Structure 1
């Protein structure tokens, strides 16, 4: 006949210890999962910010490379030299916001854009950029009627030279700036044109800063200095041969916890704390101007 040893159950202390160990393990898994999810969300946001900045740079660079473009034409059939159809400033920039981004042209040589007065926050104000050139079938997007268009997709302005000779052409004046007055409430890079309200191009662009690469008489083809738009030596926009752009991008959602490092470097080189929990990063690009206009 078999005998059985007496069996004893788990004591309360052993059960409590097991539960504590289980909770520690589960807690570690939850913390790791949460941390991994937060890190993944931040990496995704940074990737999106980089893609948006690159898209904005592509749009701006394409236009800037056309700045000042004008088809050469002879004054008359016997002439041996050529003159430019458009001889106005190739580009213009403001160290403060534009007074009116959609202001009409003030003549064949002027885009009419003026800058707001410098205020106490001028050092951190977002800049504005204007790009002017003659639009042709080769350098502009065409509409269904094969007419060159501006950044809004509208027909470029029909212009006529004073002459002689009289020459009909299309003029593009694209005005880029950052604005938060849209329906989404997000800061957006916008583009306006003479007589046309600005339309958003890229969302979550919080600021745009411009530095002008200026040439001089001894070095007419390369920049000898980079200056802010309000510090252009001599005010001669025909001496600008390069433009350096900084775009301050932000994440669309709040991703930073209270214990996270919320510091970032803005476009002026200052260390700033993010006050709303969004990621921010400054991106830079430099564009060489292909067409040097003297006037």
Structure 2
């Protein structure tokens, strides 16, 4: 009996959860779980935005680095500078790709699908359409490192240009295995003159490289003689580089370049638009007096700097919660997608025309 009374008392002291208590507990748990999910979702979205922004900034920096490297060196002619005119012995020296007497040239997008002056056929598949067009810039000049000329025969007997051994790696690669197309164009210069010609062969004699530059029927050069002896000068490979906006295979606008007669190559994706103005010196003091678009430049020889505006978009869509309105080139645009966009600007001085 005593034991029974103890068990009954213990049984009466135990209590369970009612249905109401269980529902309240479940509701509190759901609220907490919803809060955690909201925090995680917000953190994930913030991470996507920050990552997209960082990638846009990186793409803009890299695009400016590539453009600046070439534009700064436009007009390089060795120690003679721009005092002496270039002697060009190429058969096609007046063609668009080989007009090295004009190191810088631009094409202004006057509409979504038109440029002034008209684009040459060498600019393949430029991006058209949209709210504004995309400008195109052309830089003609040095391609890579130089080689020293240790011997160059007189004009009466000119077997070729003999080079020294202090080659840059890129130039060594081309001289060891020169391409068979017209992109192997070189510039020979010293402090008295400059000549552009095509190398028709490279031989190795006593450890030195000999560059031949044949002329005549079927040859790329109009003259075998280069106009002077370049002993003590230098030889550099040169080409024409065209920078423009084009859609890549993934459907994303990107900055492309085309070197000489080679195929166009993608450089940086996410570059949606490029607008360019040219700083022109109108009084001869080598300082910018006014910035003009390409169609209004009076004399390309007077351009001493280039101002570039890039509109960069995030590669991924649905980064923002709604369409992001932006202002570029004086126009305010509301796109149909939900990508991030940012405008970046820089001014590049042409070193070879600086005061």
Under TM normalisation by the shorter chain, which class is it?
0.7 to 0.9
> 1:82, 1:230 → 2: CA distance?
27
Distance 1:138 1:264, change over 3 A: farther
Superposition RMSD on alpha carbons, in Å?
3.5
Which residue of the partner structure matches residue 195 of structure 1?
A: 261
Residue 34 of structure 1 pairs with residue 41 of structure 2: yes
Specify the SS of the correspondent of 1:221.
coil
Which residue of 173, 178, 200 maps to 2:245? 178
Is residue 248–residue 283 contact of structure 1 (8 Å, CA) maintained in 2?
A: yes
> 1:250, 1:173 → 2: CA distance?
28
Which residue of the partner structure matches residue 323 of structure 2?
A: 262
> 2:84, 2:70 → 1: CA distance?
22
Offset at residue 101 of structure 1 (A): 5.6
TM-score (norm 1): 0.75
Q: How many residues matched?
A: 262
> 1:200, 1:174 → 2: CA distance?
13
Which residue of the partner structure matches residue 280 of structure 2?
A: 214
Is residue 322–residue 338 contact of structure 2 (8 Å, CA) maintained in 1?
A: no
Which residue of the partner structure matches residue 104 of structure 2?
A: 91
Unaligned runs of 5+ in 2: 88-99, 110-114, 148-167, 187-195, 198-221
Specify the SS of the correspondent of 1:254.
coil
Once the two structures are superposed, residues 17-67 of structure 1 have per-residue CA deviations (whole angstroms, 9 ceiling, x without a partner) of: 221111111001101101100110111111111111111111110100111
Which residue of the partner structure matches residue 69 of structure 1?
A: 76
Offset at residue 164 of structure 1 (A): 4.2
Alignment map for 1:1-295 (pairs within 5 Å):
2=6, 3-4=9-10, 5-72=12-79, 83-85=84-86, 88-96=101-109, 99-100=119-120, 102=122, 124-135=132-143, 137-138=145-146, 141-146=170-175, 155-158=183-186, 159-160=196-197, 164-165=227-228, 170-180=237-247, 182-217=248-283, 220-232=285-297, 234=298, 236-257=299-320, 260-292=321-353
Specify the SS of the correspondent of 1:263.
coil
Query: Which structure has the bigger radius of gyration?
Result: 2
Specify the SS of the correspondent of 2:304.
strand
